[in-house]
A and B are shown apart, each in its own frame.
Chain A
Amino acid sequence: SQQGEEDPQALSIQEGENATMNCSYKTSINNLQWYRQNSGRGLVHLILIRSNEREKHSGRLRVTLDTSKKSSSLLITASRAADTASYFCATAPFQGAQKLVFGQGTRLTINP
C-alpha cells in the first residue's frame, strides 16, 4: 500500500510564481524524500529530510516536515518552465526499512 499521499494531484501556475505541494503519510518514518520525474524519464532525487529535522533548503527548494501531523511540503520558489514535471514524495519507514514507499505524485505545469 502507498504511504505517501500527495496533494494536489495536479498544479498549474505561471512562471515566476511559487509552487507548493504537500505529502501526508501514515506510519513513523526515518526520513522523507522528494523526487522529480520529467516526462518519460526516471526519477531524480531532490532532497532528503530526516525525522528529527523540521526544514531543509536546497537552492530554490524548501522542504518542511511535521512529524506530529505526519505531513511534509515542498516549496519551489520563482518557478521556471524547466520545473514542469511530476513530483513524488517517498517515505523510509522507521521499522522494516530497506525500501521506500512512494506516493502517487503531483503533476506540476509551469506556464510561460
Chain B
Amino acid sequence: NAGVTQTPKFRVLKTGQSMTLLCAQDMNHEYMYWYRQDPGMGLRLIHYSVGEGTTAKGEVPDGYNVSRLKKQNFLLGLESAAPSQTSVYFCATARGTGGWGEQFFGPGTRLTVL
C-alpha cells in the first residue's frame, strides 16, 4: 500500500500562474487535510474535508481552493500564485470518528513562486 502520496514533489511557478496539487490515499480514510509549512514554523491548516463531496476552510484558506470529488483524492488549487504562497505543502488523512485521531502525512510538495 502506498499510503498518502502527493504530486508533484517540487514545482516552481511564476507570479500569477495557476496549478493543482494532488493528494491521493489508499487507506479509505474519511478525513483529508491540506497544510502549509513555512521555514521554522509548524503546520497551518488551509482546507480540509470530512468526506467525499465536502470541503471546509481552515486557518489560512485565502488564495486556495479545494475539491474532493472522489474519496481517495483531495486537490488543492492555486488560481493565481503569489510569492507569499512559497511553502512546503503537506496532505494528511485521518480515519473517521470526529477527526480526533492520528493523522497520516504525505511526503510534501515544495512550491516556489517567483
Contact = CB atoms under 8 A, between A and B. Distances in A.
Interface stretch (B12-20, B64-72, B73-81, B94-102): B94-102
Q: Which of B40, B42, B50, B59 has the most CB of A within 10 A?
A: B42
A45 interface: yes
B26 to A, nearest CB: 16
B82 interface: no
Interface residues of B, number: 28
B114 to A, nearest CB: 21
A99 B107 contact: no
Nearest to B108: A42
B58 to A, nearest CB: 7
Interface in A45-94: 45, 48, 88, 90, 92
A46 to B, nearest CB: 10
Given A42-B90, A42-B108, A45-B104, A102 B43 contact: yes
Contacts of A101: 45
Contacts of B90: 42-43
Given A1-B59, A104-B42, A97 B100 contact: yes
Contacts of B105: 42-44
A41 B98 contact: no
A97 B102 contact: no
A98 B106 CA distance: 19
Interface of A: 1-2, 4, 30-31, 33, 35, 40-45, 48, 88, 90, 92, 97-105
Interface of B: 4, 31, 33, 35, 40-45, 48, 50, 56, 58-59, 90, 92, 98-108
